[in-house]
Amino acid sequence: MSELINVTRSALPPFEEYCAEIRDIWDSHWLTNMGEKHQALEKALQEYLGVRNVSLLTNGHLALENIIETYDLHGEIITSPFTFASTTHAIVRCGCTPVFCDIDPVSYTIDPNKIEALITDKTVAILPIHVYGNLCDTDALERIAKKHGLKLIYDAAHSFGVSKNGVSSACFGDVSMFSFHATKVFHTIEGGALCYNDDSLRQRISDLKNFGIHGPEEVPFIGGNAKMNEFCAAMGLCELRHLGAWIEARRGVVEHYRARLGGVKGLRLNAPQKGVESNYAYFPVVFDGYKYGRDEVFDRLGAQNIVARKYFYPITNSFDCYKGRPGFDPDATPIAKYMAERVLTLPLYPDLAARDVDRICDIILG
């Protein structure tokens, strides 16, 4: 059996670099509770992303729940079902109702032309998802949110390092949530962040991630625990130093895939967006009229120890846990359903060898 090629592999700094970064943790014995590494990473990310505030959290999912609670949202939140489970679960777990809008078939992001028909007197926010490094139509979404007085919260888990016309994806909407899970372009082993320009949010976000504690004898709010620890923050500081080179390496892998698979009848590749500098996070292929169906290609690759991913499949409005709930109907979002049944993300990480890309393409084209 050939060596395993996984759909992704975490990029890591040199071992010695991480050891050097965490050395002073042994001196301070400060392992968590917003220590020096945590503070340094927040500052570094504010500079890198060009955003006024960054609040670090344990993971992206708790970051989403945190901002829904921070805004004290109660009602309907318009979102897309073409996303990871976390987006929909966060809305539901916070007591809100997801209202599913279909996606644009080119960018795979929420279709702004279909949003206003879904707005009711119960609508409190729009929660769009940047997908595969593709950005939503941020200008259109901003207009809609302002027109109707709605909060605009981006699930930006796929878009770290992406910019549009020189503006970081962290700067759109009221708040952008990032996931720093180990599989992401930038990771902190586990982690997440909220990025925002409204200074008034910082204290409330902190309250919710640190038990509402303001001091040793002062706890004026009810909060949970979603603090990033010092070891994760240290990994983030190391990762930032290498991120540019890793994104450039990803670009090379994507260009190799495009050279082999571009123009093949029945294979639809991700279309680059005008003015958008990508992070090359994923390489989705839609098998639409190809000689092999998506599932057949998935199995052919798997038989050769190559792990691709049906991502996103199934769409969240068809999850078993929501069956029978009003509004959870995959047929109401036919484009999202169509894409989910045909898309496959191929292996992609900075050190994926050219010979392995060729082997993957040979199996698909064979």
What is the full DSSP assignment across 78-121? EE-SSS-HHHHHHHHHTT-EEEE--B-TTT-SB-GGGTGGG--T
Instruction: Please write the tens of the pLDDT for every residue from 121-140.
Output: 999 999 999 999 999 999 99
pTM reported for the whole predicted model:
0.97
Instruction: Please write the tens of the pLDDT for every residue from 275-284.
Output: 999 999 999 9
Task: Decide if pLDDT at 303 tops 70.
Answer: yes
pLDDT tier at 189, thresholds 50, 70, 90: very high
Sheet with 163-164: strands ordered across: 167-168, 163-164, 276-277
What number is the average pLDDT over the span 63-88? 98
Domains parsed from the chain with CATH numbers: 15-238 (3.40.640.10), 242-365 (3.90.1150.10)
Instruction: Please write the tens of the pLDDT for every residue from 215-245.
Output: 999 999 999 999 999 999 999 999 999 999 9
Instruction: Please write the tens of the pLDDT for every residue from 33-61.
Output: 999 999 999 999 999 999 999 999 999 99
Per-residue tokens: 137: 């139509």
Task: Decide if pLDDT at 360 tops 80.
Answer: yes
Per-residue tokens: 274: 């005008």
The number of helices, as runs of H, and strands, as runs of E, in the chain is 10, 13
| In contact, 298 and 344? CB cutoff 8 Å | yes
CA-based nearest residue to 76, from 96, 90, 94:
96
CA-based nearest residue to 257, from 158, 352, 162, 159:
352
What number is the average pLDDT over the span 333-340? 98
What is the full DSSP assignment across 20-37? HHHHHHHHH---SSS-HH
Angstrom CA distances, 344 to 13, 47, 125, 293, stand at 29, 35, 30, 10
| In contact, 236 and 188? CB cutoff 8 Å | yes
How confident is the prediction for the chain on average, in pLDDT? 97
What is the full DSSP assignment across 154-214? EE-TT-TT-EETTEEGGGSSSEEEEE--TTSSS--SS-EEEEES-TTHHHHHHHHHBTT-S
